[in-house]
Amino acid sequence: MAEAKLKVVLLRYTPEPERACAAAARQCNSAAGVEELTQKITGEEVARVLENIVKNGHHSVLEHAYFTFGVEGISRACSHQLVRHRIASYSQQSQRYVKETAFDYVIPPQVKNNGQALEAFEKAMQTAQEHYNTLKGLGIKSEDARFVLPNACETKIVITMNARELLYFFEKRLCLRAQWEICQMARAMLEECKKVAPLIFKHAGPTCETEGICWEGKVSCGKYKTIPGAELRERK
């Protein structure tokens, strides 16, 4: 047993994702064939088209670019939040087939920074491990023994999202009101995305930063107050 560490790797992505999305956008208002579109579009035009797409909210063409991440060192609590994002594909490590006889776990910063809380937390992890191993020793299958495992238990997952869904994911999960762990993971994913598609993800983030609007109402974190021109609005 040990503390798990977050790791995010961009495993695969659509070749030339920005060119693919720009070509798709041009096809909407062009009589040219596919080969002509992809051959003639220049780097400058790709940048211009994508700037208009993101600025004007015409995000459907961004669905043509896919990104696949390998993530490890997150908790089951985090993965439960992650799969609420429906337009994505997930392949998660199974506790039915992978034995957890020495599981790693994620420690929340608030717990780690409190000596008494950390002691109680680690004791709970050890107790859960002992109960799991006891059940396994009694011949209980992993799929049933796992019922005593905590939300803190580390998991690994492969995630595939298109660029449009990623922009939505970053909007929601980079907000300061998002839970700290999924926010940390989203930040690492965005860093990887910017390496291969900087134009698409140039303005990715919470709406207070990208649109000057906070939609969180009474539960707003208040960050919008520090951004010139940003305002609080409520959905009707």
Question: Catalytic residue numbers?
Answer: 173
Quote the CA–CA distance of 6 and 67 in Å, as a whole number. Answer: 19
| DSSP tag of 95 | T
Coil vs helix vs strand at 46: helix
Cβ neighbors of 223 (< 8 A, separation 6 or more) are 176, 206, 208, 214
Residue 182 has φ and ψ, to the nearest 5°, of -70, -30
Q: Is the CB of residue 105 less than 8 Å from the CB of residue 4?
A: yes
Give 151's strand partners.
Answer: none
The token pair that represents 122 in the structure block = 């680690």
